[in-house]
Amino acid sequence: MFDLKGKKALVTGGNSGIGFGIAKALVQAGVTVVIVGKDNKKNKNAISELKKINGTCNAVQFDLQNCRKIPAFFKSLLVKSGTFDILINCAGITVRKRADLLSIDEWEKVIAVNLTSCFVLTTQWAKSLIKKNQSGSCVIVLSLMSEVARPTTSAYGASKAALKQLVRSFAVDWGRFNIRVNGISPGYIKTELTEPLYTDSEFSAWVMKRTPLGRWGTPEDIGPLAVFLCSDAASFITGHTVFVDGGFLASL
């Protein structure tokens, strides 16, 4: 039921951090993975590591901020790689500023990468499956900031909260086509994006004290859940968001 051999997956933001952790877990489960990232050097490094596990991985350079170019980009991927059984939306950015100091351009950039690109790419992916009467599974990576807020996260939090609703909306729209959509909300995970936080000794100590399991998470804590949600073992699960946060939200 957990076997994903023969499946193909597209993973945005798959060249580092949580996206790479998910891509690695999928490859270990027998999936052929194509990662999407705007940094070609990081793409090549990620593929080099993934090919040590499975030789059928590939990477494509694309900046998801260019939302209107996504349909043509995805069409080109279909021509080259065929239909994707699995879509992982993990690409994300943040601008850490107090809300009143955030410019409109900064707001729009975060919303474009984190939210709009996910909407456009996922709808294009679903269309490709519906056209072929093929089932599929999508996982959207959210955040604790979809539930709570901390200073300097207004744009990021708004994008992640909206994604949580998209998980539900997509699941309801496409359930009759056997296309499942679920979310994963990581807690404090050590990645390139959170480096300014975990290298702050005072903040890092607060995170570990505030988290019942007493540590920061890693990308390897997220990958296995994504594999489960994309497998037949989760065939009756859709429209839900699972928190992988070490108990953070369960505690006061």
- Sheet with 58-61, strands from edge to edge, namely 58-61, 32-37, 8-12, 86-89, 136-141, 179-186, 241-244
Q: Sign of torsion, CA 47 51 53 59?
A: positive
Structure tokens at 40: 């070609």
Catalytic positions are 156
Minimal CA–CA distance to 17: which of 165, 202, 149, 141?
Answer: 141
CB 28 within 8 A of CB 6: no
CB 88 within 8 A of CB 19: yes
Question: Tokens 């709808």, residue?
Answer: 123
CB 221 within 8 A of CB 184: no
233: DSSP letter = G
Structure tokens at 140: 């959207």
